[in-house]
C-alpha cells in the first residue's frame, strides 16, 4: 500500500512538472508574439517617420528651387515611391518568414504537448494496470474491493475538505493555546510586579533591622562615666607635636569592587530564589491543608461505615511497658506526622530542583530562550533563566508526585476497607 501511494505521488509530481513545462512554453510563445508585434510596429513607425521627413525635404527643396529660378519646379517622386514599394515588399517577405517560423514553433510546441500528454496517460495507465494485477494476484476479493475504493478515493480529491477541516481545527487549537499563554503571561507579570514590591519592602525592612541592631549594639557597648573614669582615668595631653596616625580606611581596587559586585548579585539571586521557594511552599501548604481536610472527612466516613472487628483491633494494639511509657513521657519531643510530611515534601522538592538544575547545567543561551518561551516567562540572564525554568519544572514534578501520593493513599484506604469487610464476613 505504501509503494502504491508513493508511486501515485510520483506520478502527480510528474504531471505537475509537465503542466509547468507547457505553461512555460506557452508563455515563451506569447512573449515571442509580443516581441514580433513590437518590431513590426517599430518598423511601421520608422517608415512613416521617413516618409514625413522625405515630404518635408522635398517641399523645402522645391521652394528653394522656385525662389532661385523664378518659376515652378516639379521634383519627381518615383524614386521615393519605388523605395517605399521595395521596403514594403521586404517587410511582407519578413512577415511571411516570421509567420512561417511562428507556425513551425507553434506546431513544435503542440507536438511536444501532445507527446507529454500521451506519455503521462500511458504511464498512468501502465501503473494502474500493474497495481490492479498485483492486487488481484496477492489479495482476495474483499481486499480487492477495498483497494479499488481506496484507489478511487485517491484519484479523486475528496480528501481536500478533510485536510482543510483538520487545518482549521489545528488553527483554532493554536489560537486557544495562545490565549491561555497570554493569560498565564499576564498573571506572571503581575506576580513579578508583586515580587518587586516585596523585594523593595524587604530591603527597607532589612535596613531598619540593621539600623536597630547597630543602635542596640552601640547602647549595649556604652559604659557609664564613672566606670570609664575608674577603668581609664583621663591623662594629660602629651607635650610636643602629635604624630600622624595611619588612616584605617582601606582603598578598594577595581578587582575588589568587581568581586563585591558579583557577591552582591549572587546574594540578590539567592534572595529571589528564597522568595520564590517561600511562595511555592505557601501554595503547597495551602494545597496540603485542603487535601488533609478531604482525607480527614474520608477517614471519618470510612470509620462510620466500616464495622468493627475485635480480632484485627486486638492484633493492632501495641502493648507497651511502663518503662517505655516513662521514656516516651520524658522525651516529649517526638515529631508530629505533619512535621515529618513537611520535611519529606521539602526534601522531595529539593531533589526535583537539583535534578532539573543538573539537566539544565550545560544548556546554552538559545536553549534557555526556547525553554523560557515554552514555560511562558521572560529571559533576563542565563543563570536566572536556568533557576526559573528548573523551579517551574520542579514544581510540576512535585505536583505530580503529590497527586500520585494522594491516589495511593486513597487506594490503600479502599483496600483496607475491603479487607475489613471480608474479615467481618468470615467471623
Q: What is the number of residues in the chain? A: 427
pLDDT at 356 over 60: yes
Write out pLDDT tens, residues 113-124: 777 777 767 777
What's the predicted TM-score (pTM) here? 0.25
Measured CA to CA, the distance from residue 132 to residue 146 in angstroms comes to: 12
Q: What percent of the chain has pLDDT over 90?
A: 0
Q: Pull the grid cell for residue 12.
A: 502527480
Give dist(CA 227, CA 230) in Å, integer.
5
Q: Return the higher-pLDDT residue of 339 and 273.
A: 273
Say which residue, 266 or 165, is predicted with more confidence. Answer: 266
- Is the separation of the CB atoms in 18 and 116 below 8 Å? yes
DSSP secondary structure letters along 212-281: HHHHHHHHHH---HHHHHHHS---PPPSSPPPPPPP-PPPPPHHHHHHHHHHHHHHHHHHHHHHHHHHHH
Number of alpha helices (DSSP H) and beta strands (DSSP E) in the chain: 11, 0
Structural domain boundaries in the chain: 2-157, 189-222, 261-315+336-427
**Which of 422, 402, 170, 149 shows the shortest CA–CA distance to 288?**
402
274-321 confidence digits (pLDDT tens) = 888 888 888 877 777 665 555 554 454 444 444 444 444 444 444 444
Beta carbons of 8 and 131 less than 8 angstroms apart? no
Amino acid at each position: 500500500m505504501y509503494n502504491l501511494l508513493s508511486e501515485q505521488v510520483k506520478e502527480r509530481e510528474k504531471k505537475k512538472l509537465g503542466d509547468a513545462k507547457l505553461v512555460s512554453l506557452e508563455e515563451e510563445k506569447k512573449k515571442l508574439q509580443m516581441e514580433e508585434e513590437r518590431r513590426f510596429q517599430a518598423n511601421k513607425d520608422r517608415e512613416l517617420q521617413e516618409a514625413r521627413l522625405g515630404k518635408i525635404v522635398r517641399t523645402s527643396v522645391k521652394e528653394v528651387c522656385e525662389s532661385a529660378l523664378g518659376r515652378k519646379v516639379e521634383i519627381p517622386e518615383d524614386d521615393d515611391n519605388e523605395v517605399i514599394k521595395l521596403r514594403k515588399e521586404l517587410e511582407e517577405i519578413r512577415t511571411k518568414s516570421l509567420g512561417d517560423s511562428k507556425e513551425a514553433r507553434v506546431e513544435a510546441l503542440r507536438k511536444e504537448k501532445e507527446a507529454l500528454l500521451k506519455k503521462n496517460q500511458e504511464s498512468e495507465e501502465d501503473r494502474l494496470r500493474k497495481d490492479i494485477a498485483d492486487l488481484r494476484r496477492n489479495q482476495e476479493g474483499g481486499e480487492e474491493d477495498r483497494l479499488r475504493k481506496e484507489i478511487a478515493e485517491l484519484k479523486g480529491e475528496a480528501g481536500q475538505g478533510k485536510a482543510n477541516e483538520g487545518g482549521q481545527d489545528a488553527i483554532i487549537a493554536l489560537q486557544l493555546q495562545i490565549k491561555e499563554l497570554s493569560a498565564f503571561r499576564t498573571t506572571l507579570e503581575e506576580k513579578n510586579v508583586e515580587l518587586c514590591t516585596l523585594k523593595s519592602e524587604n530591603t527597607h525592612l532589612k535596613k531598619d533591622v540593621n539600623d536597630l541592631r547597630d543602635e542596640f549594639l552601640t547602647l549595649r557597648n556604652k559604659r557609664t562615666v564613672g566606670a570609664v573614669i575608674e577603668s581609664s582615668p583621663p591623662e594629660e595631653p602629651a607635650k610636643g607635636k602629635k604624630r600622624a596616625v595611619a588612616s584605617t580606611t582601606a582603598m578598594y581596587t577595581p578587582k575588589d569592587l568587581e568581586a563585591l559586585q558579583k557577591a552582591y548579585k549572587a546574594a540578590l539571586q539567592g534572595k529571589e530564589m528564597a522568595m520564590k521557594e517561600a511562595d511555592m511552599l505557601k501554595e503547597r501548604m495551602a494545597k496540603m491543608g485542603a487535601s488533609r481536610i478531604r482525607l480527614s472527612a474520608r477517614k471519618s466516613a470510612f470509620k462510620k461505615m466500616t464495622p468493627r472487628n475485635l480480632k484485627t483491633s486486638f492484633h493492632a494494639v501495641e502493648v507497651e511497658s511502663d518503662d517505655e511509657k516513662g521514656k516516651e513521657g520524658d522525651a516529649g519531643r517526638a515529631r508530629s506526622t505533619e512535621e515529618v510530611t513537611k520535611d519529606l515534601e521539602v526534601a522531595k522538592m529539593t531533589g526535583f530542583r537539583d535534578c532539573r538544575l543538573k539537566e539544565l547545567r550545560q544548556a546554552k543561551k538559545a536553549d534557555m530562550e526556547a525553554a523560557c518561551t515554552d514555560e511562558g516567562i521572560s529571559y533576563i540572564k542565563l543563570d536566572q533563566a536556568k533557576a526559573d525554568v528548573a523551579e517551574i519544572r520542579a514544581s510540576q514534578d512535585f505536583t505530580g508526585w503529590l497527586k500520585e501520593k494522594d491516589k495511593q493513599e486513597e487506594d490503600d484506604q479502599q483496600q483496607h476497607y475491603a479487607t475489613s469487610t471480608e474479615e467481618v464476613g468470615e467471623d
